[in-house]
């Protein structure tokens, strides 16, 4: 991985020599039609306009530069100056990055935003110690099940090859009795068509991006949790900006976070309807599925607390009003 990062760094350095203004390269995770990427591009445009072109952010979407697990390290090592990635992909490093992925802890946008605001200082502190700055975070739609058949309980998913995209979703699959299989979102259609996976939990956004109606028949709107993508910047790169550029960047970040949460709220219903419009059966989870998922959520919350320690307990106590 390090060799790959260094290769990308050299390529970007050569490309940057021809730039007159300060130009940053940014890895964005999703394709251009995904609202998270639309928000990233609006953020980059906002920065350029606010600095009168003295700071430009060259957005490379759809993870073409770096994959999810590589983004944080890539920004930390200065391979790219700024990057966007799923926060919980870093859960193996520190449980705090998985605070958004505990099933049934925060299932509405209001609750997810409340939880994020409480967890943000702890996330910021951890990033700061690694030479990184948190700029903003934006939500995915709530997560639901995609299956090739109707299900009435989690027993129907027992033994299935279940797509995971983080340590938290791998643990979820295991507790469900399924076999977790890591597959990047861009590879989901092929993974289904070749039998690598036969079920998954993900958002309506990913379902639409990957045209889920081509490979599954059912979507269960479980609303298990609302994961976040965060945008981070290399602190050294930030320190080299002028004071005016720094101010403009931070102001644009605040607007991007506000806009991202608004877009998440507005697009979720529209994206879910798109699944239905393309012939998928869209249903609420059966009562037995919801009950089993809530039990799993309790187990995963306890496990998360054991890993997150006093910081995690402080966040959950504040979130629950204890």
Rounded Cα gap, residues 107 and 89, in angstroms: 19
Distances, alpha carbon 38 to alpha carbons 29, 268, 284, in Å? 11, 15, 29
pLDDT, tens digit (0-9, with 9 covering 90-100), for 5-28: 545 554 454 444 444 589 999 999
pLDDT, tens digit (0-9, with 9 covering 90-100), for 170-181: 999 999 999 999
Q: 286 falls in which pLDDT band (50, 70, 90)?
A: very high
pLDDT, tens digit (0-9, with 9 covering 90-100), for 232-246: 999 999 999 999 999
141: which DSSP letter? P
> HSE (CB half, 13 Å, CA atoms) of 245?
18
Q: Residue 254, class by beta-carbon neighbours within 10 Å (0-12 exposed, 13-18 middle, 19+ buried)?
A: exposed
Q: How many CB atoms lie within 10 A of CB 277?
A: 10
Q: What angle do CA 190, 223, 215 make, to 5 degrees?
A: 20
pTM for the structure as a whole: 0.90
- CATH number for the domain running over 144-225+275-320: 3.40.190.170
Instruction: Give the architecture-level CATH label for domain 2-91+127-138+228-272.
Output: 3-Layer(aba) Sandwich (3.40)
Question: Residue 207: which of 163, 166, 169 has the closest Cα?
Answer: 163
pLDDT, tens digit (0-9, with 9 covering 90-100), for 60-99: 999 999 999 999 999 999 999 999 999 999 999 999 999 9
Q: Is residue 44 over pLDDT 60?
A: yes
> SS3 breakdown of the chain: % helix, strand, coil, rounded to 5?
55, 15, 30
Looking at the chain, which residues constitute the CATH 3.40.190.170 domain(s)?
2-91+127-138+228-272, 144-225+275-320
| pLDDT score of 195 | 96
pLDDT, tens digit (0-9, with 9 covering 90-100), for 102-160: 999 999 999 999 999 999 999 999 999 999 999 999 999 999 999 999 999 999 999 99
Q: 49 falls in which pLDDT band (50, 70, 90)?
A: very high
Residues with Cβ within 8 Å of 61's Cβ and at least 6 positions away in sequence, in order, are: 28, 29, 30, 31, 32, 37, 40, 41
């Amino acid at each position: 991985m390090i060799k790959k990062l260094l290769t990308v760094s050299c390529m970007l350095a050569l490309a940057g020599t021809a730039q007159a203004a300060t130009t940053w390269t940014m890895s964005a995770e999703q394709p251009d039609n995904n609202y998270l990427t639309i928000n990233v591009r609006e953020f980059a445009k906002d920065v350029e306009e606010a600095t009168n072109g003295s700071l430009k952010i060259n957005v490379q979407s759809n993870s073409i530069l770096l994959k999810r697990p590589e983004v944080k390290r890539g920004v930390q090592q200065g391979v790219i100056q700024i990057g966007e990635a799923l926060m919980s992909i870093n859960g193996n490093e520190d449980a705090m990055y998985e605070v958004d992925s505990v099933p049934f802890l925060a299932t509405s946008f209001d609750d997810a935003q409340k939880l994020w605001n409480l967890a943000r200082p702890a996330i910021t502190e951890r990033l700061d110690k690694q030479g990184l700055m948190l700029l903003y975070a934006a939500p995915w739609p709530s997560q639901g099940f995609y299956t090739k058949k109707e299900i009435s309980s989690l027993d129907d998913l027992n033994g299935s090859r279940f797509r995971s995209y983080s340590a938290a979703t791998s643990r979820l699959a295991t507790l469900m009795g399924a076999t977790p299989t890591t597959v990047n979102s861009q590879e989901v259609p092929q993974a289904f068509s070749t039998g690598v996976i036969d079920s998954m939990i993900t958002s309506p956004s990913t379902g639409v991006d990957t045209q889920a109606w081509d490979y599954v028949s059912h979507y269960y709107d479980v609303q298990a949790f609302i994961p976040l993508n965060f945008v981070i910047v290399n602190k050294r790169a930030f320190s080299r900006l002028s004071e005016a550029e720094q101010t403009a960047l931070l102001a644009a970040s605040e607007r991007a976070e506000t806009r991202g949460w608004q877009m998440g709220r507005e697009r979720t219903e529209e994206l879910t309807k798109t699944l239905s419009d393309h012939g998928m059966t869209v249903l609420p989870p059966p009562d037995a599925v919801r009950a089993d998922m809530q039990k799993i959520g309790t187990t995963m919350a306890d496990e998360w607390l054991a890993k997150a320690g006093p910081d995690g307990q402080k966040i959950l106590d504040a979130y629950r009003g204890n």
